Amino acid sequence: MEDIFKNTQVAFALKSDTELERAYFLFKMIANEPLVRIGTAVTNFALKAHLPVEGLIRATVFDHFCGGVNEQDCLKVVDKMFTKGVSSVLDFSVEGKEEEEQFEAATSMIIKTITFGKEKEAIPFAVFKPTGVGRFILFEKISAAETLTDGEQKEWNRVEARFDLICKAAYDADVSLLIDAEESWMQKAADDLVLKMMRKYNHVKAIVFNTLQMYRWDRYEYLKVIREIANDEGFYIGIKLVRGAYLEKENKRALKHNYRSPICKSKEETDENFNTTAAYLFENRENIAAFFGTHNEQSCLLLVALMKQKAISANDSSVWFGQLYGMSDNISYNLAEQGYNVAKYLPFGPVKDVMPYLIRRAEENTSVAGQTSRELQLINQERERRKR
Ligand SMILES: Cc1cc2nc3c(=O)[nH]c(=O)nc-3n(C[C@H](O)[C@H](O)[C@H](O)COP(=O)(O)OP(=O)(O)OC[C@H]3O[C@@H](n4cnc5c(N)ncnc54)[C@H](O)[C@@H]3O)c2cc1C
């Protein structure tokens, strides 16, 4: 198993030579930090000034990391990936909205992606971000046990209603639903709401999945608590396990407000926390389904080894691996080739609206040590192989 992630022929089988060259060029650019900074500023300015840059963005970074501007647009990519056994999670990646109208529109769009999943085997999951359907500040206030004004309480009731509408749609369509985790200071309100939804919709199987960020040292304990509740009340738990995406922000805020950071002291501690929790998820498989969102090869190898050790078959419907579209194809396609369940997050939305997502991907690939060089090295290896 050790070397399967180095098989670039399988990893890039769906990429034409031109697409491979584009990916090479893109990751070369992204590796250059000043270029990413300048590029981000120029692109933001150009979009605000309504300069005709959308075509350029689409032809480069957008098409590499996104499925399209709308859900229909994504179907070509969905079908293509599925020919190699890789499924899709349509991710409406419009972020940072603050108005009721926008939350209502996002709710309708998420339900649309669920309906798509009902009709297509290649789309087994839907996904949404809690703050995509309600204001961040509301989640934050509730998490801090602050009293809401009457107006805010009514607003929160609407957020709850949206959660319920989305989860019910997933339940009716029999499509599993991943709910992303965000900053720790808004997460308690989201956790409580997701638990409520699990109680309501997970009595036959895990439809609703919460996300645990294992860079937080308190999440393993939290999992044990909700498992007790699920055992007592007789419902299933769905867990998406990730390391966590807001590390710097979390540590900075904790320092600023002088409280203990919710983040593990080191990367090694996070890794250990991730591994221990993964083992716990497998041990309690009778009522827990797991989706592992990671680009870490070692983690994936460990998960595969654990599955073998516990005699869990590769295609067991309660275990999934997930990566982001445009990244770590060597993991996704090689795992799928070996018969494991793999689904890639496929972001979509109008070019202007998914810019924050694209900028994060560019910055992450600049800052995460090793990530870009690994992508570049693999792409290069495949270019060389094809030349031969
Ligand atoms: C399908 C999918 C879904 C995702 N959904 C979410 C989500 O809902 N919410 C969310 O927050 N993130 C989400 N992520 C992002 C994820 O949390 C990670 O940021 C990202 O995947 C990198 O972690 P890794 O396991 O892939 O790789 P690695 O490169 O092994 O790990 C990097 C991660 O380790 C942790 N880390 C790094 N340095 C330190 C340190 N000094 N101390 C402690 N910890 C450290 C950080 O979490 C960092 O992101 C998702 C990722 C994927 C692939």
Q: Does 289 contact ligand 1 (Cβ within 6 A)?
A: no
Phi, psi of 344 (to 5 degrees): -105, 135
Region 11-23: what's the mean pLDDT? 95
User: CB 15: neighbour CB atoms within 10 A?
Assistant: 17
Summarised one tens digit per residue, pLDDT across range 271-323 is 999 999 999 999 999 999 999 999 999 999 999 999 999 999 999 999 999 99
Region 11-20: what's the mean pLDDT? 95
The yes-or-no verdict on residue 371 having pLDDT over 90 is: no
The CATH fold of domain 68-353: TIM Barrel (3.20.20)
Torsion angle, CA of 67/68/73/74, rounded to 10 degrees? Answer: 10
Region 109-126: what's the mean pLDDT? 94
pLDDT in the model for residue 303? 98
Q: Does 262 contact ligand 1 (Cβ within 6 A)?
A: no
Percent of the chain with pLDDT over 70: 97
Q: How confident is the model at residue 1 (pLDDT cuts 50, 70, 90)?
A: low
Ligand 1 pocket test, pick from 243, 273, 297 with the greatest ligand atom count within 8 Å of Cβ, gives 243
Summarised one tens digit per residue, pLDDT across range 96-114 is 788 999 999 999 999 999 9
Region 42-50: what's the mean pLDDT? 80
Q: Does 322 contact ligand 1 (Cβ within 6 A)?
A: yes
From the alpha carbon of 89, which atom of ligand 1 is closest? 1
Q: Cα of 211 to ligand 1 centre, how many Å?
A: 12
Q: Does 324 contact ligand 1 (Cβ within 6 A)?
A: yes
Using a 10 angstrom Cβ sphere, with 0-12 exposed, 13-18 middle and 19 or more buried, the burial of residue 38 is exposed
Summarised one tens digit per residue, pLDDT across range 124-154 is 999 999 999 999 999 999 999 999 999 999 9
Q: Cα of 17 to ligand 1 centre, how many Å?
A: 30
Q: What is the pTM of this model?
A: 0.96
The yes-or-no verdict on residue 340 having pLDDT over 60 is: yes
Q: Cα of 298 to ligand 1 centre, how many Å?
A: 14
Q: Does 180 contact ligand 1 (Cβ within 6 A)?
A: yes
